Amino acid sequence: MKVLANDGVSQSGINALEAAGYEVITTTVAQEQLQNYINDNDISVLLVRSATTVRQDLIDNCPSLKIIGRGGVGMDNIDVAYARSKGLHVINTPAASSHSVAELVFGHFYGLARFLHNANRDMPLEGDSNFKKLKKAYAKGTELKGKTLGVIGFGRIGQATAKIGLGAGMKVIAFDPFIEKANLELEFFDGQKVNFDIATISKEDVLKQADFLTLHVPAQKDYVIDEKEFNQMKDGVIMANAARGGVINEIALVKALEKGKVARAALDVFEKEPQPEIQLLMNSALSLTPHTGAATNEAQDRIGVELADQIISILG
Ligand SMILES: NC(=O)c1ccc[n+]([C@@H]2O[C@H](COP(=O)([O-])OP(=O)(O)OC[C@H]3O[C@@H](n4cnc5c(N)ncnc54)[C@H](O)[C@@H]3O)[C@@H](O)[C@H]2O)c1
């Protein structure tokens, strides 16, 4: 049977599928040629990430397809309910990248706490002529240890982020309307384990108490953080959005940064991808990444292997 990994798949995933007798094709077929390619090559499994879209017409016109697989979490690019109504299996890998996203958030937090995002912009330009000025400008850094980490959305990534916070010596508080409490197990290199029970509290309390605030909610109709929520935050909070563009009102964020309500912030996701607002890109209070939360070798390996395991267990 043939698997078309149209947006790529890790070598470990290819190895697992080939060992089970599948042929894996990693050509990237253009969206408008996909239907013909799938039919001409009798493709059984179509694997995508976020680039390729799988809509009703493709599902209707490709009878050889048995499985649509999304390497990652969000399935906005696939007509999932329709595919399932036509008897196709739709699979994804929701847990594979949680730790990678959590580490990216902490990369941003440690950077923001010590102005690395600015120092890295300024040192190439002024590091030789204005060293002392820059040293003074970035003198008022803060530590994360002992601070309060607020997590909004306490699912897979929220909990992975909380674990890193606990490991960093932070107090962790969380809000999630659907989760009352979670048991977090921190594992150490020598096999020791430490357990923490964290009961969620109200959104307002998290916003009021957090020194560092991170969002891990799914995309939804309304903003989760809008002007009202910014006003409830502690003055000088450092925050991060590595969830989805549209979860934070970006205009309200820029205002909150201007007022100093939010001291600095990190964005990995944007309302307008792939062309974020220039006001965000040029804002020196922001630490920015181009939606790379899940982009680690380890996460991509886990995604490939998890997809392969699921395909093999469905099709044999
Ligand atoms: N930056 C990246 O590259 C990247 C990678 C993977 C996932 N993500 C995104 O991260 C987000 C979280 O993913 P996950 O795997 O942790 O999902 P998850 O489903 O495990 O957890 C999401 C949690 O948010 C809670 N929630 C829903 N609405 C809420 C609200 N209004 N306020 C507070 N909590 C709310 C849910 O109850 C759930 O527990 C998703 O938006 C996902 O698309 C981003």
Find out whether the beta carbon of 229 lies less than 6 Å from any atom of ligand 1.
no
Q: pLDDT tens digit string along 231-281?
A: 999 999 999 999 999 999 999 999 999 999 999 999 999 999 999 999 999
Which of 98, 176, 292 is the best mutation target for the ligand 1 pocket, counting ligand atoms within 8 Å of the beta carbon and taking the most?
A: 176
Nearest to 71 by CA among 244, 304, 308: 304
Tell me the pLDDT band of 74, cut-offs 50, 70 and 90.
confident
Q: Is the pTM of this model over 0.75?
A: yes
Q: What is the pLDDT of residue 316?
A: 83
Pairing outcome for strands 181-187 and 193-199:
antiparallel
Nearest to 137 by CA among 124, 119, 152: 119
Tell me the pLDDT band of 175, cut-offs 50, 70 and 90.
very high
Which one-letter DSSP state was computed for residue 147? P
Q: What is the pLDDT of residue 295?
A: 92
Nearest to 153 by CA among 91, 54, 96, 219: 219
Find out whether the beta carbon of 155 lies less than 6 Å from any atom of ligand 1.
yes
Annotated catalytic residue 55: no
DSSP conformation letters of 233-277: SPTTEEEEE-S-TTSB-HHHHHHHHHHTSEEEEEESS-SSSSS--
Q: Distance from the CA of 95 to the center of ligand 1, in angstroms?
A: 11
Q: Quick check: 113 pLDDT over 90?
A: yes
Q: What is the mean pLDDT of residues 140-161?
A: 98
Q: Which residues pair with 237 in a beta bridge?
A: 262
Annotated catalytic residue 244: yes
Q: pLDDT tens digit string along 179-219?
A: 999 999 999 999 999 999 999 999 999 999 999 999 999 99
For the chain, the residue count is: 316
Write the CA distances from 116 to 164, 200, 287, integer angstroms: 20, 32, 9
Q: What is the pLDDT of residue 277?
A: 98
The owner of tokens 């149209």 is 6
What's the CA gap between 294 and 102, in Å, rounded?
A: 9
- The count of other CB atoms within 10 Å of the CB of residue 195 is 8
Q: What is the pLDDT of residue 73?
A: 83
Q: Whose CA is nearest to atom 15 of ligand 1?
A: 156
Share of the chain above pLDDT 70, in %: 100
Instruction: Tell me which amino acid residue 93 is.
Output: T
Q: Quick check: 144 pLDDT over 90?
A: yes
What's the CA gap between 40 and 18, in Å, rounded?
A: 21
Annotated catalytic residue 302: no
Share of the chain above pLDDT 90, in %: 98
Q: Quick check: 21 pLDDT over 90?
A: yes
Q: What is the mean pLDDT of residues 155-168?
A: 98
